[in-house]
Amino acid sequence: MAKKKLPMTIAIIPDGNRRWARAHKLSILKSYNNGVKKFVEFSEWCRAYGIRNVTVWAFSSENIKRSKEEINALFYIYKKAATSKSLASRLHKTQTRIKIIGNRQMLPKDLIRSLSKLEKETEGYKDGIINVLIGYGGREDLIHSVKYLANHATLKIKDIEKEFEKHLISNQIPNIDFIIRTSGEKRLSGFMPWQTGYSELYFSKKLWPDFTKKDLSNALNDYNNRQRRFGR
Q: 131: which residues sit within 8 A by CB, 6+ positions away?
A: 53, 54, 55, 56, 99, 101, 172, 173
The proportion of the chain whose per-residue pLDDT surpasses 90, expressed as a percent, equals 92
* Domain-wise residue ranges, the chain: 9-136+174-224
Confidence (pLDDT) at 17: 95
Cβ 121 vs Cβ 88: under 8 Å: yes
Q: Is the pLDDT of residue 5 over 70?
A: yes
Closest alpha carbon to 168 in 196, 144, 150: 144
Task: Check: pTM over 0.75? Answer yes or no.
Answer: yes
Give the residue-averaged pLDDT of 172-186.
97
Confidence of residue 1 (pLDDT cuts 50, 70, 90): very low
d(CA 64, CA 39): 21
The 10s digit of each residue's pLDDT in 114-133 is 999 999 999 999 999 999 99
**Complete DSSP assignment for 55-82:** EEEEEEGGGGGS-HHHHHHHHHHHHHHH
Among the listed residues 33, 63, 110, 171, the single catalytic one is 63
Please, which pLDDT band fits residue 93 given cuts at 50, 70 and 90?
very high
Reported as a single tens digit per residue, the pLDDT across 99-113 is: 999 999 999 999 999
Q: Is 63 one of the annotated active-site residues of the chain?
A: yes
CA distances from 4 to 68, 128, 198, 226, 227 (A): 46, 21, 20, 11, 12
Q: What is the pLDDT of residue 231?
A: 76
Neighbours of 183 (CB within 10 A): 21
What pLDDT was estimated at residue 120? 97
Q: Return the pLDDT at 229.
A: 83
**Annotation marks residue 15 as catalytic:** yes
Q: Is the pLDDT higher at 216 or at 4?
A: 216
Does the domain at residues 9-136+174-224 carry the CATH identifier 3.40.1180.10?
yes
